[in-house]
Amino acid sequence: MYQQTLPIILASKSPRRQELLKSMNLDFEVVLKELDESYPVGLLPAEIAVHIAEKKAAAFLELSFAHIVITADTIVAYKNQILGKPSDAKHAKEILETLSGTNHQVYTGVSISYNGKTASFFDVTEVFFNELTAEQIDYYITNCNPFDKAGAYGIQDWIGLIGVEKIIGSYTNVMGLPTEKLYNALLSI
């Protein structure tokens, strides 16, 4: 059983990550900074997710002497092409049409900083979508705000409930934080 001995900072504005930490019964504070999330050309999706999580961790390293700092980044990849957050409704529709009837991977990189040191890991989940109709895609875009989500969807949202046929791997990873791996990493601190 994890016994929290230091305050935890979650350096993420993601409501899904906050919800997951609350569900893990962890006490934490959210601290935010605007950061550049660019990455070097040529990295694989898992490397991108970890690179960005570590970049975020570096921005909060000074806080890790009195806190445990958790940072994360989630990447959706289809045929090794990164599908980021959609810029508008047209872009969201293009992404969801691409994912319809196919499978893709969701990678989340996580960094945990403590006492001036950072440890990182990633998880990957394979997601299989049913064929989505144009009406389903339009309904989702209009009613469920896909614009703050990598790959233009949230598995916990309406489209995940009606459109995801199956997953191989962690459900919480697709939400943005592989809680089972995070829990084990916290146990080792």
Tell me how far apart the alpha carbons of residues 119 and 131 are, in angstroms, rounded to a whole number.
39
Residues 6+ apart with CB under 8 A from 5: none
Does 2 map to a domain? no
**Degrees, nearest 5: CA angle 43-102-87:** 60
pTM of the prediction? Answer: 0.95
In the chain, what is the straight-line distance between the N-terminal and C-terminal CA atoms, in Å? 13
35-85 pLDDT, tens digit each: 999 999 999 999 999 999 999 999 999 999 999 999 999 999 999 899 999
Does 1 map to a domain? no
Residue 103 has pLDDT above 90, yes or no: yes
Q: Report how far Cα 102 is from the mean position of its chain's Cα atoms.
A: 20
Locate 38 and state its tokens.
């660019």
Q: How confident is the model at residue 4 (pLDDT cuts 50, 70, 90)?
A: confident
Q: Could you list the residue range(s) of the whole structural domain that residue 23 is in?
A: 8-187
Q: How much is the pLDDT for 175? A: 97
Does 67 map to a domain? yes
- pLDDT above 90 covers what percent of the chain? 96
Question: Domain total for the chain?
Answer: 1
Residues 6+ apart with CB under 8 A from 45: 75, 77, 80, 82, 105, 107
146-179 pLDDT, tens digit each: 999 999 999 999 999 999 999 999 999 999 999 9
Q: How much is the pLDDT for 172? A: 98
Does 119 map to a domain? yes
Does 93 map to a domain? yes
112-145 pLDDT, tens digit each: 999 999 999 999 999 999 999 999 999 999 999 9
- pLDDT above 70 covers what percent of the chain? 100
Tell me how far apart the alpha carbons of residues 124 and 126 are, in angstroms, rounded to a whole number.
7
Q: How much is the pLDDT for 80? A: 87
Strands 164-168 and 8-10: unpaired
Kindly report the average pLDDT of the chain as a whole number: 96
Q: How much is the pLDDT for 125? A: 98
73 belongs to the catalytic site: yes
Instruction: Report the CATH number at residue 158.
Output: 3.90.950.10
Does 107 map to a domain? yes
Locate 131 and state its tokens.
């064929």
Tell me how far apart the alpha carbons of residues 96 and 101 are, in angstroms, rounded to a whole number.
10
Which stretches does DSSP call E strand in the chain?
8-10, 28-30, 68-78, 81-82, 103-114, 117-129, 164-168
Does 3 map to a domain? no
Residue 182 has pLDDT above 90, yes or no: yes
Tell me how far apart the alpha carbons of residues 2 and 47 are, in angstroms, rounded to a whole number.
28
Does 171 map to a domain? yes
Q: Are 53 and 35 in contact (CB under 8 A)?
A: no
Of the listed 73, 123, 138, 157, which one is catalytic? Answer: 73
